[in-house]
Amino acid sequence: EDLRDIVPACRDSSHTKQTILDKALQYIDQIMRNIKSQEKSIAELSVERSRQAELQREHQMWQAKMEYMRKSYGLQHHPPAPSSCTTAIHHFNVISSLPGHHLRKIPTEAI
């Protein structure tokens, strides 16, 4: 009777002892599959977390390099432009402001 209460497929019905044992084994197998699936998900999340931390460190390194280059060339930080067209103009203007470049800046107000 206790096993019948534990196994969901055996609740509220009358089964033979053999049927109850078979269903109990099926239930245990299902629980084991669920545990393995959860362990796999945990392992995948752990790998994903490690990769995310690695990407965060790489992102910070690139930010530091960009800041160093800005300071080295005396450039101000410009936030990214809202569209691809203005972003391209922004990059053109940044490059044209570097020493040795004689390109004329494009006014962004005209866009």
pLDDT tens column, 1-44: 577 777 777 776 677 778 878 888 998 999 999 999 999 999 99
Contact 27/15 with Cβ under 8 angstroms? no
- Radius of gyration of the CA atoms of the chain, in A: 32
Quote the pLDDT of residue 18: 83
Contact call for residues 11 and 4 (beta carbons, < 8 A): yes
Question: What sections of the chain are H helices per DSSP?
Answer: 2-6, 17-73, 84-96
User: What is the Cα–Cα distance from 11 to 1, expressed in whole angstroms?
Assistant: 10
Q: What is the pTM of this model?
A: 0.49
**What are 54's two structure tokens?**
């690695």
